[in-house]
Amino acid sequence: MTEYRAHFDAEIEFVNGGGLRAEAFRLDLPSAGLTEAQVGELFVRHLGLAMVGRIELANLEIVEEAHKGSRGVPDASAGAAAASGASSATRGEVVDLSHPVRAGLVTYPGIPAPTIVPHLTREASREHYAPGTEFAIDVITMAGNTGTYLDSPYPRYADGGDLASLDLATLVGVPAEVFRFTDAAGRGIPAAAFLDRELAGTAVLLHTGWSRHFGTPEYAHGAPFLTEDGAQHLVDVGVAIVGIDSLNIDDTESGSGTRPAHSLLLAAGIHVVEHLTALDRVQARGARFTAVPPKVEGFGTFPVRAFAELPVA
């Protein structure tokens, strides 16, 4: 296989002062088609330089020449692997468990759908920026209970913690335990369904399959839910998060107006994530679950980008 090297002069300035000059430098290249900027980046990596502010090359020439072993310069196959995602060797597949938010989306009957309107259009922005530079700035108005969202204690309890109070350690990379109820005979999920596993500190994800109805009128009726004794059991064993791919963690059709699952879980500081999707792609055990809302003070519920990191195969 033909190998290539770059010959060039270089001048580097550092953001914290000082500089470096090189004359007639030789550098291994992974291919002949690199731009001057790419050669400059390889040069910095080869020398292990930090705090670089400016790189300027002169008299650049790329020639056929055997490699001498420059560090930080992968061969062509390694470069292709890096471009396709080098982290795949250390991290499994990431599965998105969130519904997209869009204008007009009905998440829950009676809760207003989001509206998205422009604050600054691309056309209008052109008078503020240089030719060829434009921006769009939009305004979204929505209820916190939109799309896939997380409840903090605040919406249920006046003295409960708001979104800004939540500990990130309880929201990121939590060991997931997925329970399948897609073929359940009844709507309510009882405590007995959880007795076969150790669940302390985990994210218990209830896969009911109801997300297939999301965004349709059918989603609002006959939805699966977590029973009061099921919620109490999860509190007692000390789970960190409970998520469900259904309309609500509670039975909204009981007519009683009570919300025992919300009440018990949020009183115990257990996060509730509703309207998940794609739980069929997450195995029963071994994944890690993340659902992080923005850090909003005095606000209790907000959409999240929920996802599961699957274990490396």
pLDDT tens digits, residue range 25-63? Answer: 999 999 999 999 999 999 998 998 888 899 999 999 999
- In one-letter notation, the amino acid at residue 76 is A
Question: What pLDDT score does 76 carry?
Answer: 41
CA-CA distance, 178 to 203, in Å (whole number)? 8
Mapped to the 3 state alphabet, what secondary structure does the chain carry?
A: CCCEEEEEEEEEEECCCCEEEEEEEEEEECCCCCCHHHHHHHHHHHHCCCCEEEEEEEEEEEEECCCCCCCCCCCHHHHHHHHCCHHHHCCCCEEECCCCCCCCCCCCCCCCCCEEEEEECHHHHCCCCCCCCCCCEEEEECCCCCCCEEECCCCCCCCCCCHHHCCHHHCCCEEEEEEECCCCCCCEECHHHHCCCCCCCCEEEEECCHHHHCCCHHHHCCCCEECHHHHHHHHHHCCCEEEECCCCCCCCCCCCCCCHHHHHHHHCCCEEEECCCCHHHCCCEEEEEECCCCCCCCCCEEECCCEEECCCC
- 268/75: higher pLDDT: 268
With cut-offs at 50, 70 and 90, classify the pLDDT of residue 136: very high
pLDDT confidence of residue 134:
97
Check whether 83 has a pLDDT greater than 50.
no
Query: Is 60 exceeded by the pLDDT of residue 75?
Result: no
Q: What percent of the chain has pLDDT over 70?
A: 94
Determine the pLDDT at residue 74.
53
Lowest mean pLDDT among 29-43, 76-90, 109-123, 153-167: 76-90
Neighbours of 290 (CB within 10 A): 20
pLDDT of residue 89: 54
pLDDT confidence tier of residue 84, bands split at 50, 70 and 90: very low
pLDDT at 69: 78
Mean pLDDT of 187-211: 96
Confidence tier at 68 by pLDDT (50, 70, 90): confident
Residue 71 pLDDT exceeds 70 = no
272-284 per-position pLDDT tens digit: 999 999 999 999 9
Output the average pLDDT for the chain.
92
